[in-house]
A = this chain, B = another copy of it.
Amino acid sequence: MSNTLKGACIIGQSGGPTSAINASAYGVIRAALDNPMITHVYGAEHGIKGVLNDRLFDMSQEEAEELALLKFTPSSALGSCRYKIADPDEDDTDYKRILEVFKKYDVRYFFYNGGNDSMDTCNKISKYMMRVGYECRVMGVPKTIDNDLFGTDHCPGFASAAKYIATSCMEVYRDAQVYDTGMIVIMEIMGRHAGWLTAASALANIDGTGPDLIYLPETDFSMEQFIADVKRVYSEKGCCMVAVSEGIHYADGSFVSEAQTSATDGFGHAQLGGLASTLTDVVKKETGAKVRGIELSLLQRCGAHLASRTDYEESILAGRAAVENAVAGLTDKMVGFACTREGGKYVCKTKLIDLKDVANTEKKVPLEWINAQHNGVEQAFIDYCLPLIQGETEMVKINGLPRFAKLKKVLAK
């Protein structure tokens, strides 16, 4: 493979959006537009689907000012997809089509901005292009609020969601304490298999106004222990805040959110509503206290007004690094972060990880960062997470409301 390669690039976004995924896209697009080796910069509409459907936006048609607003714009500006690409050994239809579109536009650089599944897609495309001898440098650009990508210190998008969660917990904690009659609040936080986001609620405890109890999917959940924990805290403090991951599960692997709670419906119907409402009903019945369940839902992953500046700056960095490394001759990698936190000084540098190692691997919260009672996190997690949420957004506002990027999305000819 020659070191110099001139041609077009495609950037696609895939999977659930975050507050910082567009910052990464901005990093890729800006660096690519400015790089003489890259002849055209195309944005794929709805990720790999945009390639398959030949729906590519000519990013050179966008105003520079508008592109810069991507840094502060939540959700995936190019559109996302949850498209599971086939194994090329079983069905190479999609790959042939991708190759066809790559050839049509002379695409020599492919950047894919996503999480685990997207890195799997990225890996498969990379391997296919190598196998058929089409020279195209493929780079994964990570994003996921779940923070569960392998090989990187952390993932772009995680910290902004973590900051949103911690801040919201601090505010709700104050609100829930306002009466002398006591209240139990249950915060439901995203993370089906990894508890990073739920653990981030513990950042609120630096101020002493965070969850009293935190339950992650890394350990088995016991309803009996949970009820005992809540009763203990409530009787001691007269109030209690609980943070639960949506993915908490019993020892048999069944999700608590899916379990039927015969306690609340004698007919054995599956409980309606989410985990927060299930647990709220249980705790109400067990304590007689005023209980409120709050599901942070989409708010936590699109709350760009509370984005971490560290997060979006690193997200841009990851995007730029993908372009720079690809132009320098590297391929088949995902950009990751190597960080040090010695003596309280946080330093973050980009690194490259083999796509095959990233694809479909999930990184969970280390068990030694979870307390012995499995209802809280250790200081090691705080030390890990706190540097990531530093700095405030510089979101542009008009009329007191966010001014998000509005792309023209001119289709390439």
Contact = CB atoms under 8 A, between A and B. Distances in A.
A399 B390 contact: yes
Most-contacted residue by chain B among A274, A305, A401 (CB, 10 A): A401
A396 B265 CA distance: 47
Interface in A286-315: 292, 294-295, 297-299, 301-306, 308
Interface in A69-93: 73-76, 79-82
A180 interface: yes
A159 to B, nearest CB: 9
A329 interface: no
A174 B269 contact: no
A325 interface: no
> Contact residue range for chain A?
35 or more
A207 interface: yes
A402 interface: yes
A292 B302 CA distance: 15
A243 interface: no
Contacts of A60: none
Interface in A147-194: 163, 166-168, 170-172, 174-180, 185
A49 interface: yes
A30 interface: no
A302 B175 contact: yes
Most-contacted residue by chain B among A170, A301, A403 (CB, 10 A): A170
Contacts of A295: 294-295
Nearest to A177: B75
A175 B298 contact: yes
A273 interface: yes
17 contacts: A46-B180, A74-B174, A79-B178, A80-B179, A171-B402, A172-B299, A174-B404, A206-B399, A209-B404, A265-B269, A272-B273, A273-B273, A292-B297, A294-B297, A389-B399, A389-B400, A390-B400
Interface of A: 16-17, 45-46, 49, 73-76, 79-82, 163, 166-168, 170-172, 174-180, 185, 203-204, 206-207, 209, 264-265, 267, 269, 271-274, 277, 281, 292, 294-295, 297-299, 301-306, 308, 386, 389-392, 397, 399-404
